[in-house]
Chain A
Amino acid sequence: LAKTTQPISMDSYEGQEVNITCSHNNIATNDYITWYQQFPSQGPRFIIQGYKTKVTNEVASLFIPADRKSSTLSLPRVSLSDTAVYYCLVEQSSGSARQLTFGSGTQLTVLP
């Protein structure tokens, strides 16, 4: 199983770009990388998903190097409302079984 590792916490200031890196050394060929955001007392919310190189949507970018052993979530110009826990997920499929591993999560705190 691809275990994921993320920093436990990060601090940033409003208006800065924030980059959160996740390592997944055992990622397999067919695996995708997905990032989620979670606020207290709510379920996680999908942010972005990618397989390789770079993916961008209206809220974030995801950078995946050629070896795919890590990925970086980039949040441009964060605001106080971006304070949340961010999870990296690698989804693995093996026949009919799906082994799903959430990272430990990174608590991002955005300061004024």
Chain B
Amino acid sequence: DVKVTQSSRYLVKRTGEKVFLECVQDMDHENMFWYRQDPGLGLRLIYFSYDVKMKEKGDIPEGYSVSREKKERFSLILESASTNQTSMYLCASQEATNYGYTFGSGTRLTVV
């Protein structure tokens, strides 16, 4: 069975900290994505990557960066965490365009 694994289920960080959210997929998928989900706002795309070392901005990239050094791993970085980045973060992978996504279980990040 295919799997997308997010390194932490819950995280609490302080304002100004640098935060790394890790995502690993074991399906050799080309595309990977980071979303955040907030009540009333649905899922919003932060960044995505369609190849190693490639990245594209999504709808809300401000305050975030990403890294994809290996095909199976896609990291989301909050350079200086702020309270408005408190959210559920969801990673997904996709075999290729127009295939379904496989999502991880999510990381609930609280910035205090």
Using CB atoms and an 8 Å cutoff, list the residues of chain A in contact with chain B: 30, 32, 34, 36, 41-46, 49, 87, 91, 93, 96-98, 100, 102-105
Contact = CB atoms under 8 A, between A and B. Distances in A.
Interface in B81-112: 90, 92, 97-106, 108
B interface, over-half SS = strand
B106 A98 contact: no
Nearest to B104: A43
Interface of B: 4, 31, 33, 35, 42-45, 48, 50, 54, 56, 58, 90, 92, 97-106, 108
Most buried by B among A42, A45, A100: A100
A95 to B, nearest CB: 11
A102 B48 contact: no
B100 to A, nearest CB: 4
A8 to B, nearest CB: 10
